[in-house]
């Protein structure tokens, strides 16, 4: 299970600066919720460091997309586990109904 989670993170965040800040928060049969921890990130020469707040991303497994789609949802800032679980359950139900 740990290797499966690690593989999901690597597949999702490979090639980005967020790779070392990303972890699996919740998991279902077809969907995963990633948590990208808050961190300082490089922006540009004039503003070299900017704080990137915590972000949660609900994504269909192995269908990685950078824009919002029906299979992707994101939250910036703190979010309760209850809200994330409800969104995960809803996405799974919609997937199974189609």
Task: List Cα–Cα distances, 34 to 12, 45, 58, 81, 98, in angstroms.
Answer: 9, 30, 7, 12, 24
pLDDT tens-place values along the chain, 98 residues long: 557 899 999 988 888 878 889 999 999 999 999 999 887 777 666 767 778 888 999 998 877 766 666 668 889 999 999 999 999 999 999 999 98
Q: What is the pLDDT of residue 14?
A: 85
Between CA 40 and CA 80 the distance in angstroms is 23
Q: What is the pLDDT of residue 66?
A: 61
Determine the length of the chain.
98
Between CA 93 and CA 85 the distance in angstroms is 12
Between CA 86 and CA 10 the distance in angstroms is 25
């Amino acid at each position: 299970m740990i290797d499966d989670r690690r593989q999901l993170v690597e597949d999702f965040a490979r090639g980005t600066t967020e790779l070392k800040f990303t972890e699996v928060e919740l998991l279902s049969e077809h969907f995963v919720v990633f948590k990208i921890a808050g961190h300082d990130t490089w922006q540009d020469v004039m503003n070299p460091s900017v704080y990137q707040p915590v972000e949660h991303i609900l994504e269909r497994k192995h269908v990685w997309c950078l824009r919002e789609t029906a299979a992707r949802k994101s939250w910036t800032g703190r979010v309760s586990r209850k809200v994330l679980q409800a969104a995960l359950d809803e996405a799974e139900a919609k997937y199974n109904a189609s």
